[in-house]
Chain A
Amino acid sequence: MSLDHTLLSNRAVRSAEIQLKTEQVSLFYGTFQALRNISLDIREKAITAIIGPSGCGKSSFLRLFNRMNDLIIGARIDGKVVIDDINIYDRDIDVVELRKRVGMVFQKPNPFPMSVFENVAFGPRRHGRINRGELEGIVERSLRQAALWDEVKDKLGQSALALSGGQQQRLCIARVLAVEPEVILMDEPCSALDPIATLRIEDLMRSLSSDYTIVIVTHNMQQAARVSDMAAFLMMEKDRAGMLVEYGPTSQLFTNPKDKRTEDYITGRFG
């Protein structure tokens, strides 16, 4: 099963600015080590894909950036996760503000059991925007950015749960966009969606990446190849801890991987 090279993302890496990076990060759940010594620099306003076989810790790695791992009892990290020269695991970091700046879209679309409008307005409301006119503007802008506005503009008051799976996921993206993040983390955002919805989300990702840094976890290699500028390949070692095997521009990783394990994974020999 070889990769169709014409599908590879041809996008030049726009900027070499580093926005997020991990420095020798290891993640533990209690005594179990989930990630080992990962150092990675994520480029600003690029799409970075984290790929690898299931169970190797891709989602756990992604959640380092918005400290969603904090919700798990017993989770702790060694090493640093740095955003703009600040280690976000420092003691005096405001996690709430961090999550405003680093948004997340989940694997299974999780709109609130509220109306479409209320879903998107949720974040801004919590951050103090109460003016109705202002909120309406934010909601429209976010839904347009998420390529959902035309489909829901007449149904803003309807329950979000009535939308299709693909629409719900775009709604979740709009919800994140409404708080004006810098970074959008996407944890297998298309795995619960049908192929057509998937392609729409991929188009959306491309259009968003001119303004936002996107980090996406995906187990779908073709998707990673289609969509991302940079790709990081993670793998599980014998003790089930995830480690970084290779990281580089997508086109290079998929056509000319430096590590044999990467090559084996890409060509489908395992995983």
Chain B
Amino acid sequence: MAVQTISKRELTQRTAFSLLVLATAIVAIPVLFIIIYIAVNGAGAISWEFLTQPPSQAGKAGGIFPAIVGTFFLMLGALIFSLPVGVLAGIYLTEYARDNWLTRLINMAILNLAGVPSIVYGLFGLGLFVLAMKFGMSLLAASLTLACQALAITITTSREAIIAVPREYREGSLAVGATKWQTIRHVVLPHALPGIITGAILSMSRAAGETAPILVVGAAFILPGLPTSPFDQFMALPYHLYTAAAHVPGMPKTTIWGIALVLLVVVLSFNSLAVFIRVRIRQRRFGS
């Protein structure tokens, strides 16, 4: 008599798989919830005034324009200081470095730079840029600090982009009597450019979202005007959000969510742009 029974093993499998799906759901759903919650609750604060006016009433009213500007300057500053180093280091690691202890040490250093806590970068920036080099609590000090943090990203992405350039292009260039640097500059780098740009965008996005380093190195909650020189103090979105949420009694909730929404939009749009470029590169190179 053929009675369909589920074997014990099949049952185990089904249970296990359900748990796995559950785990995945628990991983994935909160993110979406968070983003949607912020979008819904913060949308109310977004207005032309909010985005273009400075804060008033100790930040409880008005806008966040200086914080947006400050964040923009920080992103630019971090980019300026970390991208050239990242590209040159990537060139060194792909084109010149030999397989020896020094190279292994450099690679280890890169991985560990990525793992340094952001507050430690803050201390480093304080000790070196603010105090020892006497830049003071300033945009310059903060940009340099964030650039150090971004180094791991720019070096790694540049290196990957440069390694991906096919050997045939280099050979073709050398075989017509171009020097190694000419080959790098005119054949390798142009071809690696999209990948390098991806790294640049990711480092900017990282700089936009970091609070701990700038907390230590120069960010302020309310400033009378916009920074006019790299040595000025500055406002920035993540620090503004932190202070507003944790240190201003009576801060309207909508405003807090609004600041969070603006910050999220900046960071996530840059991340998406980087991913978009990465996908386009892959399509262009391998899809057609």
Residues of A within 8 A of B (CB): 66, 68, 71, 73, 96-101, 103-104, 106, 108, 110-113, 122-123, 125-127, 172, 175-176, 178-179
A2 to B169, CA, bound (A): 40
Nearest 4 CB-CB pairings of A with B: A100-B177, A123-B176, A110-B168, A104-B175
Asked whether A112 lies within 8 Å of B177 as measured between CB atoms, the reply is no
Asked whether A96 lies within 8 Å of B177 as measured between CB atoms, the reply is yes
Asked whether B175 lies within 8 Å of A66 as measured between CB atoms, the reply is yes
Asked whether A126 lies within 8 Å of B175 as measured between CB atoms, the reply is no
CB contact list, B151-198 vs A, under 8 A: 166, 168-169, 171-179, 182, 186-187, 191
List of A residues within 8 angstroms of B176 by Cβ = 99-100, 103, 122-123, 126, 175-176, 178-179
Asked whether A68 lies within 8 Å of B191 as measured between CB atoms, the reply is no
Given contacts A112-B187, A113-B191, A122-B186, contact A97 B172 (CB under 8 A): no
Q: Name the interface size band of chain B.
A: 10 to 19
Q: Which of B98, B168, B186 has a CB less than 8 Å from the CB of A126?
A: B186
Can you spell out 11 A-B residue pairs with CB atoms less than 8 angstroms apart?
A: A96-B177, A96-B178, A100-B176, A101-B177, A103-B176, A103-B177, A110-B171, A122-B173, A123-B176, A123-B178, A126-B178
How near does chain A come to B128, taking the closest CB pair, in angstroms? 38
A66 to B2, CA, bound (A): 78
Given contacts A73-B98, A122-B186, A126-B186, contact A108 B168 (CB under 8 A): yes
Determine which residue in B172, B173, B177, B191 has the highest number of CB atoms from chain A within 10 A of its CB, and name it.
B177
How near does chain B come to A195, taking the closest CB pair, in angstroms? 24
How near does chain B come to A163, taking the closest CB pair, in angstroms? 15
B98 nearest CB neighbor, chain A only? A73
Asked whether A110 lies within 8 Å of B169 as measured between CB atoms, the reply is yes
A68 to B170, CA, bound (A): 11
How near does chain B come to A136, taking the closest CB pair, in angstroms? 18
Asked whether B178 lies within 8 Å of A112 as measured between CB atoms, the reply is no
Given A66-B175, A106-B175, A113-B169, output 5 extra A-B contacts at Cβ < 8 Å.
Answer: A104-B175, A111-B172, A112-B169, A125-B186, A126-B186
How near does chain A come to B32, taking the closest CB pair, in angstroms? 40
Asked whether B172 lies within 8 Å of A172 as measured between CB atoms, the reply is yes
A66 to B98, CA, bound (A): 23
List of B residues within 8 angstroms of A125 by Cβ = 186
Asked whether B177 lies within 8 Å of A126 as measured between CB atoms, the reply is yes
A100 nearest CB neighbor, chain B only? B177
Asked whether A127 lies within 8 Å of B171 as measured between CB atoms, the reply is no
How near does chain B come to A64, taking the closest CB pair, in angstroms? 14
Q: Which of B172, B174, B182, B191 has a CB less than 8 Å from the CB of A175?
A: B172
List of A residues within 8 angstroms of B182 by Cβ = 126
A99 to B179, CA, bound (A): 10
A110 to B191, CA, bound (A): 14
Q: Which of A71, A106, A126, A179 has a CB less than 8 Å from the CB of B172?
A: A106
List of B residues within 8 angstroms of A106 by Cβ = 168, 171-172, 175
Asked whether A96 lies within 8 Å of B191 as measured between CB atoms, the reply is no
List of A residues within 8 angstroms of B177 by Cβ = 96-101, 103, 123, 126-127, 179
How near does chain A come to B282, taking the closest CB pair, in angstroms? 16
Asked whether A71 lies within 8 Å of B174 as measured between CB atoms, the reply is yes
Given contacts A68-B174, A99-B174, contact A126 B179 (CB under 8 A): yes
CB contact list, B105-134 vs A, under 8 A: none
A103 to B171, CA, bound (A): 11
List of A residues within 8 angstroms of B186 by Cβ = 122, 125-126
A166 to B28, CA, bound (A): 52
How near does chain B come to A66, taking the closest CB pair, in angstroms? 7
Asked whether A68 lies within 8 Å of B171 as measured between CB atoms, the reply is yes
A21 to B38, CA, bound (A): 76
A125 nearest CB neighbor, chain B only? B186
A104 to B174, CA, bound (A): 9
A99 to B183, CA, bound (A): 13
A104 to B179, CA, bound (A): 15
How near does chain B come to A172, taking the closest CB pair, in angstroms? 7
A126 to B178, CA, bound (A): 6
Determine which residue in A71, A98, A122 has the highest number of CB atoms from chain B within 10 A of its CB, and name it.
A122
How near does chain A come to B258, taking the closest CB pair, in angstroms? 46
Determine which residue in B99, B166, B168 has the highest number of CB atoms from chain A within 10 A of its CB, and name it.
B168
List of B residues within 8 angstroms of A172 by Cβ = 172
A112 to B186, CA, bound (A): 10
Determine which residue in A96, A101, A111 has the highest number of CB atoms from chain B within 10 A of its CB, and name it.
A96
Contact with A along B77-114 (1 / 0, CB 8 A): 00000000000000000000011000000000000000
Q: Which of B169, B175, B187, B191 has a CB less than 8 Å from the CB of A99?
A: B175
A99 to B174, CA, bound (A): 7
How near does chain B come to A184, taking the closest CB pair, in angstroms? 10
